[in-house]
Amino acid sequence: MTSPPAEAPVVVITGGSAGIGRAVGERLHRAGHQVVSLSRQATDPESGWVPDVQHEVDVADSDGVAQVAAQVLSEQGRVDALVTCAGTVTRGDLIETSADQAGRQIAVNLLGTMNACRAFAPALRAPRGAIVTLSSSIAANPQASVSAYAAAKGGVESFSRALALELAPVRVNVVRPSLVDTGIWVSGGLDPDAYDTLIATRGSEYPLGRVGRAEDVAAAVAFLLSEDAAWITGTVLPVDGGADLIGR
């Protein structure tokens, strides 16, 4: 795939090596952005599309994120947009969840979002850029066995709306997906067979007849970063196939 020109807008994506983050990167690359990915592991070049620039960093490491931000600004010269997709989940009721497991979910999902915003916000002021953070329908419609994850994603929404006031005229918005078929729940401890059942069951329950695809979320993110959303900030956009209508 052809690289965008040097003067192309630069978007930084945390968690950009896989899942929703990768889909966002690929979508924005096609739209002419330079895509900078921050992930714990780089994208496998044999797996298809690869971000223009990759940095391996744990978003829970505030110093590490700050160092990468300085490097990005030195090398790219600008940052026009930030999308925070890095996330993790560990299934289990609270009494079965260790403090370390709960803390890791808060550290990556909430503090990781804050770390990235803190590091890149100064650069976004000059171009009056935009930030999109990723929440989850679980923030609005909690479910058992994911209480720490729900707390983290609820925090992302409150933080993002407050940040929209702090950073204006930089725009800050949230995308709130329901179940998206990326495999994160299997990596979080759900049995693969149970996951397949969940995908089928939820897909039949959702008003639009299927669970989400990473590309569905990427399209919403691309809209919120675009000039078509120039008068939108501080909003939480459900991208959920109608799941919120049925409390899912």
For the annotated catalytic residues, the residue numbers are: 149
Type and span of the H or E element at 21: helix 19-30
Helix (H/G/I), strand (E/B), else coil: 241 = coil
- In Å, the largest CA–CA distance within the chain is 52
Q: Which residue's entry shows tokens 């918005």?
A: 173
Cα–Cα nearest to 156, from 202, 203, 106: 106
Our CA dihedral for 49, 53, 54, 57, rounded to 10 degrees, sits at -150
Question: Residue 213 corresponds to which tokens in the numbers above?
Answer: 């695809």
